[in-house]
C-alpha cells in the first residue's frame, strides 16, 4: 500500500499554510537572485549559438557568448542538446528577461509533476509538499533543467505502478538531459521489467536522432569532449568537493574522486538484483532512486532533488522535514551532512517497509486454503 493515512482537517490546513508560505519565500529568494550569477549562462549561450547557426559545443564560442553576460568566468555547456530548441524559443538579446522566462517554464514543469505524483501516491497533500523540496526549488532559482529529469522520473514511477511498462521506459528517456543519472535507473530495468527497458531504448534512440539533427556528429563529438573536461572536476561549477554523492565524500576526504565509478558499478548491480527480486515493489524502486543519487558521478544540490520522489511516499510532511534538516545543517556549517542523513534515513525507511511487505506476502502465501468438508 502506497497511500498514507489521510490527514485531519487541521493538519491539512497546516500543510497548506506551509506550502504557500514556503512557496512565497522561494519566490522572494528567486527575485533576489542575480540572473548573471546563476547556472543559466551556458544554456543561454548554447541557445544563442544555435540561433546564429554556429557550433554549440565549441568551447571558445561558448566562452565568447558568456562573456557578454559575465566576463569573469566561462561555464561549459555540457548538457545534451534536446532542450536547446525550447531554450532558443525564449532566448532574446535581453538575458535577464530570457532567464525569467526560462524559470517560469521550469516552475510550470514542477507544478505538472503534481499529476504523476498523485497518480503514484493517491495523496494530494504529499504531492503538493513534494514540489517545495529545497533542492528542487534551488534548481529553478539557478535556471537548471533538473525539473525535466524530475518530471521524467516521477512519471516513470507512476506508469510502472500502473503496469504501463513500455510507456514508463519511453517517458524515462526524457531525462536524457542528465544521462549520468538516468543510466542508473534505466539499465537495471533490463533484468526486471524488460518492456520498460525496451521503451527506454526506443526513447533514447529518438533522443539521439533529435540530437544528431540539431548539432550533427561534430556537435556530439564536441559534447563528449566538454563532458570529459567537466569530469575532471576542475572547471567552474563542477568541482568534485561540492557534490552531494559519493564523489563528494571521496574528494573531501582527500581520496581520488574517480573511486565513484566503483560505487557506480556496485549500485548498478545491487539495484538490478533488488529490482529483479522485487519487480513490482515501490519500496524497492525508491531504494534504487536513493542508490542512484548516492552513486551518481556528478551530482550537485539541484540534482539531489530526485530523491524527493522516495521521500514524499514516506509521509505527507516528509519532504518538509527533509528540507528543514538540510537547511538547519547548512546553517550550522555542515551543508553536505544533511544530504547524506536524508539519503540514509530514506533508504532505511523503505528497506524496513520492503521487509514488512515481503514478510506479509510470504505469510499470506504460506497459509493453506481450508478445504470444504
For Cα atoms 126, 131, 136, give the angle at the middle one, nearest 5 degrees.
135
365 pLDDT more than 60? yes
Main-chain dihedrals φ then ψ at residue 193, nearest 5 degrees? -140, 85
Tens of pLDDT, residue by residue over 239-291, are 788 899 999 999 999 999 889 999 999 999 999 999 999 999 999 999 999 99
Q: How many domains does the chain have?
A: 1
pLDDT of residue 33: 79
276 lies in some domain? yes
320 lies in some domain? yes
288 lies in some domain? yes
Whole-number Å distance between alpha carbons of 185 and 349: 20
- Name the average pLDDT for the chain: 88
Instruction: Residue 292: give the domain boundaries.
Output: 17-357
77 lies in some domain? yes
47-54: long-range contacts at Cβ-Cβ below 8 A with a sequence spacing of 24 or more?
A: 47/84, 47/87, 47/88, 47/91, 48/88, 48/91, 50/81, 50/84, 50/85, 50/88, 50/214, 51/88, 51/91
pLDDT of residue 266: 96
103 lies in some domain? yes
pTM: 0.89
Give 6's pLDDT tier (boundaries 50, 70, 90): low
224 lies in some domain? yes
Tens of pLDDT, residue by residue over 94-145, are 999 999 999 999 999 999 999 999 999 999 989 999 999 999 999 999 999 9
230 pLDDT more than 70? no
Give 60's pLDDT tier (boundaries 50, 70, 90): confident
12 lies in some domain? no
25 lies in some domain? yes
Amino acid at each position: 500500500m502506497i497511500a498514507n493515512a489521510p490527514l485531519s482537517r487541521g493538519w491539512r490546513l497546516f500543510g497548506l499554510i506551509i506550502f504557500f508560505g514556503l512557496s512565497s519565500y522561494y519566490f522572494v529568494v528567486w527575485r533576489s537572485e542575480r540572473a548573471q550569477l546563476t547556472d543559466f549562462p551556458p544554456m543561454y549561450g548554447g541557445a544563442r549559438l544555435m540561433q546564429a547557426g554556429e557550433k554549440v559545443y565549441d568551447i571558445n564560442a561558448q566562452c565568447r557568448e558568456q562573456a557578454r553576460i559575465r566576463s569573469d568566468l566561462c561555464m561549459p555547456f555540457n548538457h545534451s542538446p534536446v532542450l536547446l530548441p525550447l531554450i532558443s524559443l525564449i532566448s532574446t538579446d535581453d538575458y535577464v528577461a530570457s532567464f525569467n522566462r526560462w524559470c517560469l517554464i521550469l516552475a510550470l514543469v514542477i507544478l505538472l509533476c503534481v499529476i504523476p505524483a498523485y497518480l503514484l501516491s493517491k495523496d494530494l497533500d504529499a504531492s503538493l509538499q513534494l514540489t517545495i523540496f529545497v533542492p528542487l526549488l534551488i534548481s529553478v532559482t539557478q535556471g537548471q533543467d533538473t525539473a525535466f529529469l524530475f518530471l521524467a522520473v516521477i512519471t516513470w514511477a507512476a506508469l510502472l505502478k500502473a503496469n504501463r511498462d513500455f510507456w514508463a521506459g519511453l517517458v524515462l528517456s526524457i531525462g536524457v538531459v542528465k544521462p549520468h543519472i538516468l543510466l542508473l535507473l534505466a539499465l537495471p530495468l533490463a533484468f526486471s521489467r524488460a518492456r520498460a527497458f525496451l521503451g527506454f531504448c526506443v526513447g533514447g534512440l529518438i533522443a539521439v536522432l533529435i540530437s544528431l539533427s540539431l548539432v550533427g556528429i561534430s556537435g556530439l563529438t564536441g559534447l563528449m569532449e566538454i563532458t570529459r573536461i567537466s569530469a575532471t572536476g576542475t572547471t567552474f561549477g563542477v568541482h568534485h568537493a561540492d557534490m552531494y554523492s559519493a564523489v563528494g565524500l571521496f574528494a573531501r576526504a582527500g581520496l581520488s574522486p574517480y573511486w565513484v565509478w566503483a560505487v557506480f558499478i556496485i549500485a548498478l548491480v545491487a539495484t538490478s538484483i533488488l529490482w529483479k527480486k522485487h519487480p513490482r515493489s515501490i519500496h524497492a524502486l525508491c531504494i534504487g532512486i536513493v542508490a542512484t543519487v548516492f552513486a551518481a558521478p556528478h551530482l550537485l544540490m539541484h540534482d539531489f532533488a530526485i530523491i524527493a520522489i522516495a521521500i514524499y511516499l514516506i509521509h505527507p510532511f516528509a519532504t518538509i522535514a527533509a528540507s528543514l534538516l538540510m537547511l538547519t545543517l547548512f546553517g550550522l556549517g555542515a551543508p553536505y551532512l544533511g544530504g547524506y542523513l536524508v539519503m540514509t534515513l530514506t533508504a532505511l525507511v523503505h528497506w524496513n517497509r520492503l521487509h514488512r511487505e515481503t514478510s506479509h506476502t510470504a505469510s499470506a502465501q504460506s497459509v493453506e486454503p481450508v478445504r470444504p468438508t
